[in-house]
Structure 1
Amino acid sequence: MPSTSNPDPHVHAGPTDASSVSESVVSPLRASAFWATIALPIVALVLLATGTVSVSLLTTVSFLTAYGTCAVAGHNHSPN
C-alpha cells in the first residue's frame, strides 16, 4: 500500500499542537496569577497606608474577588 500523505503542509495534527499552544498560554498566566496572589496584599496595604484608596464595600469586594481569582488560577504553579 502506498503511504498517504497530507497534501496540505499547513494542516497539523490537532492534539499535540493544541496541547503545546494551550500549555504555552496557560503556564505564563498561571505564573502571573501566582505572583499576583503574593503581591496583591502588599499593594493593598500600601494603597491604604498612603490614602490612595479607602476601605469601602466596593474596594473590599473588588480586592477579595481579584485575590480569589488569582489564588485559584495560580494554585498549580511551581516557582522552581
Structure 2
Amino acid sequence: MPLISDTDTHTGPAVRRVASVVSESVVFPIRAIAFWTTILLPVCALVMLAVGVASVTLPTAIGFLAVYSACAIAGHNHTPQ
C-alpha cells in the first residue's frame, strides 16, 4: 500500500502558479465587494426603512442579518488602498 504524501505529484509548478493567479484575480474583487457591502448595507437599509420601501418583519430582519454576516465574513481580510 503506497504512503500518502503532502505534495500533489500530478500538478507541476506552472499549474500551481496559474491556479494562484486565477485565485487572486477572483478572490480580491469578491473580498472588496463584500467589504464595501458590509459598510454600505446598514445605510441602505435605514434609507429603505425611512422611505417606506422596506418594513421591519422577521423574514426581512433575518435576511438582512444573513447577508450582512456573509459579507462581513467574506470581506474581513480586505484592506482598502
Q: TM-score, normalised to structure 1's length?
A: 0.84
Q: Tell me the matched-pair count.
A: 69
- Stretches (4+) displaced over 4 A: none
When the two chains are superposed, the root-mean-square deviation of aligned CA atoms in Å is 1.1
Displacement of 1:13: 1.9
Mark the runs of 5 or more structure 1 residues left unpaired by the alignment: 1-11
Larger radius of gyration: 1
Helix, strand or coil at the partner of 1:13: helix
Q: TM-score, normalised to structure 2's length?
A: 0.83
Residue in structure 1 matched with residue 44 of structure 2 by the alignment: 43
Identity of counterpart residues, as a percentage?
58
Residue in structure 2 matched with residue 70 of structure 1 by the alignment: 71
Q: Distance in 1 between matches of 2:61 and 2:15?
A: 44
Q: Distance in 2 between matches of 1:77 and 1:16?
A: 22
Residue in structure 1 matched with residue 31 of structure 2 by the alignment: 30
